[in-house]
Structures are given as C-alpha cells and as structure tokens.
Structure 1
Amino acid sequence: MAQDSGNDRDFSIERFRPYIRLQLFGTKETVQAFIDQLHAIGMIDRIYWGRPTPVPGTEGEWVSILNRRW
C-alpha cells in the first residue's frame, strides 16, 4: 500500500534568509522623491522598491513597498 511521505514542510532556503520590508506612505510625489533621495545617497537602489500605488479608501495617499533579502 502506498503511503504519503508526510513531507509537507517548506525546505526552501528563502525562508531562512534575513530580510527587511519597508512601507513608505505619502503623496505620489513625496513617495517617489524619498525613493529618489535614498538612491542618491547610496542607501537603497530604486529597483528594490515596488511601483507606488494608491492606498484604497484614502484620497491622495500612495504606498511603495521595499522587500529585500540578502
């Protein structure tokens, strides 16, 4: 009779790697300007930030999220 291996655990290396997640809120212009400033001082490259998107249920507020693993 066939038995289930019972191996449903996630063994991926990704879950063991340290990470940060930053959420940046503001107007579309201020969010983009802050991302640009962080890039200009060499802190975080623009490519790691998500595209700014409107926050549902609020008028004029935008968010961009950075997820970074190393």
Structure 2
Amino acid sequence: MFTGFGGTDRPENSIDDSRRPFQIYLLGTREEIQTTINQLQVVRFCERIRWSPPIPVLGSDWKYISMMERDQSR
C-alpha cells in the first residue's frame, strides 16, 4: 500500500499499489514524441489515443511532453 510520507499509520483512503496507474512520460521534439507513440502502438504496448497531446515545455523553444497512464496489471 502507498501511504505517503511522514507517518506509520495508514490513512483510510490509501490506494493499493496494484491499482494505481502506471505513468509514462515522453520528452523531446514534437516529431520524436509522435514517432515514439506510433512505434509503441506497433509493438502493442498501448494505443495512440491513450497519450496526451504533446504540450510545449515552459522555457524551451523545442521541447514537448506527452503523458500516458495505464493499469499496472498489463
């Protein structure tokens, strides 16, 4: 169970680790992110629709980030 930091007691609303989604982030140019998302779909890792649209990273004129969540049970 994930209980957070700062205590040994489990809160009533703790989440079972196996139920928390697994998150993956891609960081790169818009083209690199799209190419990687396409490759991950080809190898059946996840569908393209599961990824967030690439958004610009603040303070950079070329970096973008995209995020995907999926169940850990896969």
Is this a same-fold pair by TM over 0.5?
yes
RMSD: 1.8
**Which residue in 2 is equivalent to 1:38?**
40
In 2: Cα distance, 1:61 partner to 1:51 partner: 13
Following superposition, the deviation at residue 67 of structure 1 comes to 1.5
Which structure's residues are more often strand, by fraction? 1
Runs (5+) with no aligned partner, structure 1 = 1-8
Following superposition, the deviation at residue 58 of structure 1 comes to 0.9
Opposite residue 53 of structure 2, the aligned amino acid is: R
In 1: Cα distance, 2:25 partner to 2:54 partner: 10
Which structure 2 residues correspond to residues 1-70 of structure 1 after superposition, within 5 A?
10=13, 15-16=15-16, 17-69=19-71
Following superposition, the deviation at residue 25 of structure 1 comes to 0.3
Identity of aligned pairs, percent? 31
**Which residue in 2 is equivalent to 1:6?**
none
The two structures have a TM-score, normalised by structure 1, of 0.72
Opposite residue 60 of structure 1, the aligned amino acid is: W
The two structures have a TM-score, normalised by structure 2, of 0.69
What is the aligned length?
Answer: 60
